[in-house]
Amino acid sequence: MYSLLIKQAKVIEGTGNPGKIMDVAVEGDKIVNVDKNITVKAQTVIDAAGKILTPGFIDIQNHSDSYWQIFDNPGFESLITQGFTSILIGNCGGSLAPLLSSDALLSIQKWHNLEGANINWQSFSEYIQELSKKRFACNVGSLVGYSTLRRGIVGDRIRSLEKDELGAVKKILEESLEAGAFGLSSGLSYSHEIIIKELELFELAKVVARQGALFSVHLRNESSEIVEAVEETLDIAKNSNVNLKISHLKIRGENNWQKLPEALELISTAYHKGVNVHFDLYPYDTVWQVLYSYLPRWATEGGRTVMLKHLSDPVYRNKILLHLNNSDIHFPKLLIASTSNKLNFIGKTLGQIAKNLEVSSEAALLHLIQSGGSEVMVFDKNLDTEGVSQLLVHPLSLIATDGAGFNLNGKTRLVHPRCFGTVPKFINLAKNYGLSLEDAIKKITSGPAKKAGFKNRGEIKVGNFADLVIFDENNLKDRATYENPYVFSDGISHVFVNGKAVVSNSKISGELPGYVLKK
């Protein structure tokens, strides 16, 4: 007798092959049979006639660690209700290990206030051991964040690494990869990584390549210098032979949208010349951005302490205001999503706040950075909808939330609707732009599984883990909005993680069967 039998679903197995009406049997945490008509009895039988059965979806660009949700909300409700069964955290240069000093965790303070956090690990191995004691609704694997590594050595100082320091970083990275990290991530647009030289990145990329791991790069620039940023990253990948993923590929600002064809051509050409490169993105035209990132680069170098000193100095403050005034960004429309201090600004536009304070929107922005605490996030609608759609259907794209797993109780701040609605929004958009359902499913299953190195996941076949999703293609719909993001999606009736239901008949079961994954 099987533990689970799913009957007569249209099985889309995850590799892009056409779907077929099949039965799928599960015993324990593994798929044990896939056939046209399985007659063996099972403890649980689901009649899935008229529905789609796919592998569990894999979120290769997730920040549930940065937002502390792996501790505060291990149920990951916003993720499992849209079919995600595995996530890869430690992205954009920030991870929760290894911690070489007390400064290391500062790399994630832009996303979450760390006051009162209980940290009882240092090495990546100890971190994995600690996570393994906990229970999660989906499987969790992690990258090593380069900013976390670097800041553990240099703290808030903005400078290149000395030769012995670089050697130490390489050694600890190698130890972390051997302990189960899936690779290295870098957030090159953030203040503590933007000064990093290409040669330093190349040295780290070689370590990652030797281990056959993933190098996930948040580009140095996503607007006026997007082409140069793509070139730099591809050059590192070509010379190191590393497995490269460009994180949340996008082009910000209407004046820069015309650069998309050139950037895509660079990526495609590199791929056809043998560079192992892919990119991920989310299916939305609005970014969820750290507010300080709108300041000129020089104003943020040295971290938050130095930045606040600049804002308090009248000369520097006027220089920053001049930079903002000459920007092509429409600041009044920025929507405040969160602050780490309890200010009554969440859900208001910067224009509304400026009017109440009787100052310009640019001055209001500086006021918020000074008084809003370490975490001030905004929504900025600055992406080209057509450009996003073009990226979604590109052969080298993978789809990810770039978000985190939230429940319905965290309404003290706004989160990006992609945390709740990425999958249904993507599948419906893909259909409108001529991508087959089979190819769309590949971008969220076997594609990211292969890229990240998640073994025996991302494909429905005998011997693989039983991470499975049943949904009604005709009723699949995202419902989360920027004003009201805490709304689950429609159309997904069942989600299984390692053979156990985390969503059953469209209701969250409360089960926490996820595994901590190691490469």
Residue 235 sits in the same domain as residue 302 = no
pLDDT at 374: 66
Give the amino acid at 41. K
Number of domains present in the structure of the chain: 2
Could you tell me which residues come within 8 angstroms of residue 254 by beta carbon, excluding any fewer than 6 positions away? 328, 382, 384
Within a domain: residue 19?
Answer: no
Helices (H) and strands (E) in the chain, counts: 17, 21
CB 329 within 8 Å of CB 362? no
pLDDT tens digits, 177-228: 999 999 999 987 765 666 677 888 999 999 999 999 999 999 999 999 999 9
Residue 249 sits in the same domain as residue 276 = yes
Give the amino acid at 264. L
Within a domain: residue 437?
Answer: no
Pairing of strands 214-218, 243-246: parallel
Average pLDDT over residues 14-41: 97
| Concatenated DSSP letters of 281-318 | E-S-S-EEEEGGGGS-HHHHTTHHHHHHHHHHSHHHHH
pLDDT surpassing 90 at residue 471: yes
pLDDT tens digits, 382-419: 999 999 999 999 999 999 999 999 999 866 789 999 99
pLDDT tens digits, 133-178: 999 999 999 999 998 998 888 776 777 888 899 999 999 999 999 9
Q: Given 400, 431, 462, which residue is the final one in a domain?
A: 400
Which CATH number does the domain housing residue 193 bear?
A: 3.20.20.140
CB 451 within 8 Å of CB 398? yes
Q: Three-state secondary structure along 439-504?
A: HHHHCCCHHHHHHHCCCCCCCCCCCCECCEEEECHHHCECCCCCCCCCCCCECEEEEEECCEEEEE
Residue 188 sits in the same domain as residue 280 = yes
DSSP-derived letter for residue 160 is P
* Residues spanned by the domain of 335: 290-380
pLDDT at 319: 96
Within a domain: residue 35?
Answer: no
Residue 233 sits in the same domain as residue 221 = yes
Cα–Cα distance between 12 and 20 in angstroms, integer?
7
Percent of the chain with pLDDT over 90: 81
Average pLDDT over residues 32-47: 97
Within a domain: residue 56?
Answer: no
End-to-end CA distance of the chain: 32
Give the amino acid at 205. A
Residue 236 sits in the same domain as residue 328 = no
Residue 343 sits in the same domain as residue 273 = no
Residue 226 sits in the same domain as residue 345 = no
Residues present in the chain in total? 519
Within a domain: residue 20?
Answer: no
Residue 277 sits in the same domain as residue 322 = no
pLDDT at 26: 98
pLDDT surpassing 60 at residue 483: yes
- Residue 129 confidence class, pLDDT cut points 50, 70, 90: very high
Within a domain: residue 471?
Answer: no
Pairing of strands 335-339, 376-380: antiparallel
Within a domain: residue 200?
Answer: yes
Cα–Cα distance between 60 and 489 in angstroms, integer?
20
Q: Which residues pair with 141 in a beta bridge?
A: 88
pLDDT tens digits, 321-356: 999 999 889 999 999 998 877 778 899 999 999 999
Within a domain: residue 469?
Answer: no
Residue 257 sits in the same domain as residue 190 = yes
pLDDT surpassing 60 at residue 112: no
Residue 216 sits in the same domain as residue 304 = no
- Residue 116 confidence class, pLDDT cut points 50, 70, 90: low
Residue 182 sits in the same domain as residue 294 = no
Pairing of strands 144-145, 139-142: unpaired
**In the predicted model, what is the mean pLDDT of the chain?**
93
- Residue 371 confidence class, pLDDT cut points 50, 70, 90: confident
Residue 134 sits in the same domain as residue 269 = yes
CB 396 within 8 Å of CB 267? yes
Angle between helical axes of 303-312 and 361-371 (0-180°, round to 10): 130
pLDDT at 109: 54
- Residue 376 confidence class, pLDDT cut points 50, 70, 90: confident
- Highest mean pLDDT among 96-105, 112-121, 206-215, 288-297 belongs to 206-215
Q: Given 380, 408, 441, which residue is the final one in a domain?
A: 380
